[in-house]
Amino acid sequence: MTETIINLETVNPIEFFGVNNNKFDILKKKFPLLKILSRGTQIKLSGAPEQIDLAKEKIDLIIQYMQRNGHLSENYFEQILGGDDAEVIDNFIDKNPNEVLVFGPNGKTVRARTANQKKMVQAADKNDIVFAIGPAGTGKTYTAVALAVRALKNKVVKKIILTRPAVEAGESLGFLPGDLKEKIDPYLRPLYDALDDMIPADKLGYYMTTRTIEIAPLAYMRGRTLDNAFIILDESQNANDLQIKMFLTRIGSNAKAIITGDPTQVDLPRNQKSGLEKASRILQNIEGIAHIQLDEEDVVRHKLVKAIIKAYDKERENETENSYHR
């Protein structure tokens, strides 16, 4: 049997152990083969060397996180302890703090995690308009919202405007219960979810009340001039040609815009054509407008999402090929 002592002198031990030792209990449950004792600012681990090494690695990660952020929720504490793959751990412990876009309410870092997401960040830093095109789960919307929140926090802009076309994905908007806002909010929910990860609830409520952050359907943008703002058009594949042109011509002075979309998930009626393909095509080679293409390698959801996207892409290629040979 081996023993190791870990010092917590660089972090707040009360924050590490949790209220009523809740986090410490989680730690002991994660490593049932070890005898884990605490005394003051020290943790004593006793047991098999390989188990001690694993526990020490996880505890070191938690200490790194707390040194940078101070606070650590029970949820993130448990996620770090249970994270077996590099991506889960990398989500909490950043090798390069300069890459962090936003620190979330619980200290979780929000940053570009894939090569194309990083290209998206670089493009937004150098251009006023960015088209970010790619399949579901590639982090287009999340990265765009993080860029907008960063710009607001750094006082680069005075407000954030997030918009989506309110297009039914196989369901009827008219049959949803409630008033207009209650009918529309489900379409805008992914934008709210992203903001929840990046801004404390009380501050987000204040921003929404003062219209510092505005979330609205695309139709509400008509006739406006948007100055000193970071504007995101999400799900742009569900906007027609005139709507995308209308959105792009709303952009005023000291404004930035990101247009995200997935051309394979168009929910428009059969008699309407998506305007995304045309816009991204005719606006190529214009200085100040960047185009980033994301793919299945950028998927940051469940690992099966990547396989699902590949399967659908292959099926679509087969259908196109069969149609060509008819």
Confidence at residue 296, expressed as pLDDT on a 0 to 100 scale = 78
Confidence at residue 292, expressed as pLDDT on a 0 to 100 scale = 96
Q: Which residues, including other chains, have CB under 8 Å from residue 284's CB and lie 6 or more apart?
A: 291
CA–CA separation, 301 and 309 (whole Å): 12
Confidence at residue 45, expressed as pLDDT on a 0 to 100 scale = 93
Confidence at residue 306, expressed as pLDDT on a 0 to 100 scale = 67
Residues in the chain with pLDDT values less than 50: 85-87, 169-173
Confidence at residue 177, expressed as pLDDT on a 0 to 100 scale = 55
Confidence at residue 83, expressed as pLDDT on a 0 to 100 scale = 58
Confidence at residue 85, expressed as pLDDT on a 0 to 100 scale = 45
CA–CA separation, 194 and 110 (whole Å): 10
109-320: CATH, from 2.60.40.1250, 3.40.50.300, 1.10.287.470, 3.30.870.10: 3.40.50.300
CA–CA separation, 194 and 265 (whole Å): 20
CA–CA separation, 161 and 234 (whole Å): 11
Confidence at residue 158, expressed as pLDDT on a 0 to 100 scale = 96
Q: Which residue has the tokens 């929140």?
A: 149
Q: Which residues, including other chains, have CB under 8 Å from residue 16's CB and lie 6 or more apart?
A: 8, 23, 24, 62, 63, 66, 72
The C-alpha angle with vertex 314 and arms to 313 and 317, in degrees rounded to 5, equals 85
Indicate the class that CATH gives domain 2-93.
Answer: alpha beta
Closest by CA position to 294, among listed 146, 147, 138? 138
For the chain, what are the domain ranges? Answer: 2-93, 109-320
Confidence at residue 173, expressed as pLDDT on a 0 to 100 scale = 47
Residue 195: Cβ-neighbour burial (10 angstroms; 0-12, 13-18, 19+): buried
Question: What pTM, to 2 d.p., does this model score?
Answer: 0.66
Question: Could you check whether 2-93 and 109-320 share the same CATH topology?
Answer: no
